[in-house]
């Protein structure tokens, strides 16, 4: 991101006795209270332009405020900390089974959420912890779920890959690569059928972009002008396979052929926000769109992958240095004197404490009762019997 112009009214700045300039690199001094600054609008130019397919891309100038930037910093830091803590809990064997971490990709979750409401739907694959948090999920709900406890967002029965929060439009959390894309189109079909003016964001990876069911879903979505935004989170790897080994064309925003697309810098939270806002308006008028978010995962594919055998450490550290989404916002905040380095460090400390407290609380939560094993699995009232794997120990009549 580069600077920066002030929009709205110059008189506000005069009133606040601020040095005002529109030139690149100039910055405002912080001689004002935070309440005065909260509402003031800045215009930031994204460093990478959008690239469109069958559409005119939105402007690179994105409006934001001091308050929004500080919120973005906090939210992304919280997500980062949550994922790092999940890594430790996994290594301590408090989290078992699959676990896919999202650190590096936080700007997609946070930027998207800033552009939509809880009446819009989101559905994603198994890398879902931070999407759940962005949708209003709690840290305790996340950690308890990860550790298989009763207070987890899926009652401790879903685990890392199956987070849900239906009351704020989050439909999971899916383990079969690409399978959520037709489901997302189905959610959008329901929105259109019910004449709601809301949309569905359906997230999938670059690996999933080669899955056949995506193209079947796109065909129907385009035929019926469904309000669905297909968000390809291109982190450039599907497990240990680099995209160039798996995809004949890695231009995922063009892969919908007749479906318009937009390539977005997915490490820039403001660029993501603007793109999602644009996409939402687009799909309500014109039907589906693909947003390719150019992003990166810092961790290996899952906890069983150290993530360093199929890519160089230099590649990872280079992205951390040049494109890290949190560092970008930190620089922006500092260059505007919107907070001091110490204030941002304090925010990080607070976030760390919030995460630690949530883990402590989640650990107190009991494991689900064995009688819960078959609830929320089958439709009620079928009257069938269910068995454990050995067909002896657990036997229950389904509710
Ligand atoms: C249908 C299906 N095939 C294979 C797998 C095994 N698998 C799990 S994740 C994954 C890679 C997907 O990569 P991508 O879509 O880029 O998502 P990312 O993990 O990078 O977020 C594969 C092949 C699966 N879960 N489902
Ligand atoms: Mg990928």
Which residues form the domain of 29?
8-368
Minimal-distance CA residue to ligand 1 atom 21: 205
Backbone angles phi, psi at 255, to 5 degrees: -75, -10
The answer to whether residue 38 sits within a structural domain is: yes
pLDDT at 40: 80
The response to whether residue 299 sits with its C-beta less than 6 Å from ligand 1 reads: no
Atom of ligand 1 nearest to the CA of 179: 1
Is a pLDDT exceeding 70 seen at residue 24? no
Atom of ligand 1 nearest to the CA of 178: 1
Sequential DSSP letters for 288-314: -EEEEEE---SS-SSTT--S-SSS-HH
Q: Distance, CA 150 to ligand 1 centroid (Å)? A: 28
The response to whether residue 266 sits with its C-beta less than 6 Å from ligand 1 reads: no
Residue in the block written with tokens 């004002």: 32
The answer to whether residue 389 sits within a structural domain is: no
The answer to whether residue 258 sits within a structural domain is: yes
The answer to whether residue 380 sits within a structural domain is: no
Atom of ligand 1 nearest to the CA of 208: 15
Backbone angles phi, psi at 5, to 5 degrees: -140, 155
- Kindly list the protein residues that place their beta carbon closer than 5 angstroms to ligand 2, a single-atom ion: 205-207, 235, 238
Sequential DSSP letters for 24-85: TT------S-HHHHHT-EEEEE-SS--EEESSPPPPSEEEEEHHHHHHHHHHHHHHHHHHHH
Among 106, 231, 239, the mutation site with the greatest number of ligand 1 atoms within 8 A of its Cβ is: 239
Among 173, 176, 206, 207, the mutation site with the greatest number of ligand 1 atoms within 8 A of its Cβ is: 207
The answer to whether residue 396 sits within a structural domain is: no
Q: Which of 40, 1, 3 is nearest to 18 (CA)?
A: 40
Residue 50 sits in a domain of what CATH number? 3.40.50.970
Residues facing residue 3 across a β-bridge: 44
Q: How confident is the model at residue 293 (pLDDT cuts 50, 70, 90)?
A: very high
pTM of the model: 0.89
Atom of ligand 1 nearest to the CA of 239: 11
Q: Which tokens hold the place of 75?
A: 């939210």
- 20 SS3 class: coil
Q: What is the pLDDT of residues 233-292, one digit of tens each?
A: 999 999 999 999 999 999 999 999 999 999 999 999 999 999 999 999 999 999 999 999
The answer to whether residue 99 sits within a structural domain is: yes
The answer to whether residue 2 sits within a structural domain is: no
What total number of domains does the chain contain?
A: 1
Q: How confident is the model at residue 10 (pLDDT cuts 50, 70, 90)?
A: very low
Ligand nearest to the CA of 126: 1
CA distances from 216 to 175, 221, 355, 366 (A): 19, 9, 41, 43
How is the beta sheet containing 2-6 ordered, strand by strand? Answer: 2-6, 41-45, 61-65
Count CA within 13 A, CB hemisphere, residue 75. 27
Question: How would you class 361 by CB atoms within 10 Å of its CB: exposed for 0-12, middle for 13-18, buried for 19 or more?
Answer: middle
The answer to whether residue 397 sits within a structural domain is: no
pLDDT greater at residue 374 or residue 308: 308
pLDDT at 371: 86
Is a pLDDT exceeding 70 seen at residue 307? yes
CB 131 within 8 Å of CB 124: yes
- Measured CA to CA, the distance from residue 300 to residue 83 in angstroms comes to 12
Residues facing residue 202 across a β-bridge: 123, 230
Chain-centroid distance, C-alpha 256? 22
Q: Distance, CA 380 to ligand 1 centroid (Å)? A: 32
Among 238, 246, 293, the mutation site with the greatest number of ligand 1 atoms within 8 A of its Cβ is: 238
């Amino acid at each position: 991101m580069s600077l920066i112009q002030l929009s709205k009214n110059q008189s506000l700045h005069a009133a606040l006795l601020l040095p005002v300039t529109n030139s690149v690199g100039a910055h405002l001094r912080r001689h004002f209270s935070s309440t005065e600054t909260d509402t003031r609008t800045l215009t930031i130019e994204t460093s990478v332009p959008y690239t469109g397919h069958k559409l005119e891309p939105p402007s690179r100038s994105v409006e934001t405020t001091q308050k929004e930037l500080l919120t973005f910093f906090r939210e992304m830091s919280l997500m980062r900390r949550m994922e790092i803590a999940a890594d430790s809990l996994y290594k301590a064997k408090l989290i078992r089974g699959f676990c896919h971490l999202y650190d590096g990709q936080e700007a997609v979750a946070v930027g998207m959420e800033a552009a939509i409401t809880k009446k819009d739907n989101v559905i994603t694959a198994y890398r879902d912890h931070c999407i759940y948090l962005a949708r209003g999920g709690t840290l305790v709900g996340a950690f308890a779920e990860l550790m298989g406890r009763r207070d987890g967002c899926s009652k401790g029965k879903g685990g890392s890959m199956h987070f849900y929060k239906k009351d704020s439009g989050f439909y999971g959390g899916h383990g079969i690569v690409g399978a959520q894309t037709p489901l997302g189109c189905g959610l959008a079909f329901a929105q259109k059928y019910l004449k709601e003016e809301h949309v569905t964001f359906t997230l999938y990876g670059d690996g999933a972009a080669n899955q056949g069911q995506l193209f079947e879903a796109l065909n129907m979505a385009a035929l019926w002008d469904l309000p669905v935004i297909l968000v390809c989170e291109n982190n450039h790897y599907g497990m240990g396979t680099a995209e160039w080994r798996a995809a004949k064309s890695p231009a995922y925003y063009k892969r919908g052929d007749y479906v318009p697309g937009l390539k977005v810098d997915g490490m820039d939270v403001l660029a993501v926000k603007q793109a999602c806002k644009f996409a939402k308006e687009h799909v309500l008028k014109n039907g589906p769109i693909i947003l390719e978010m150019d992003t990166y995962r810092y961790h290996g594919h899952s906890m069983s992958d150290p993530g360093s055998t199929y890519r160089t450490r230099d590649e990872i550290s280079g992205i951390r240095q040049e494109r890290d989404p949190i560092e970008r916002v930190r620089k922006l905040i500092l260059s505007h004197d919107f907070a001091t380095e110490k204030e941002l460090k304090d925010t990080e400390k607070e976030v760390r404490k919030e995460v630690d407290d949530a883990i402590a609380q989640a650990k107190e939560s009991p494991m689900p009762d064995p009688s819960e094993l078959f609830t929320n699995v089958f439709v009620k009232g079928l009257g069938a019997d269910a068995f454990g794997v050995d067909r002896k120990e657990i036997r229950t009549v389904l509710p």
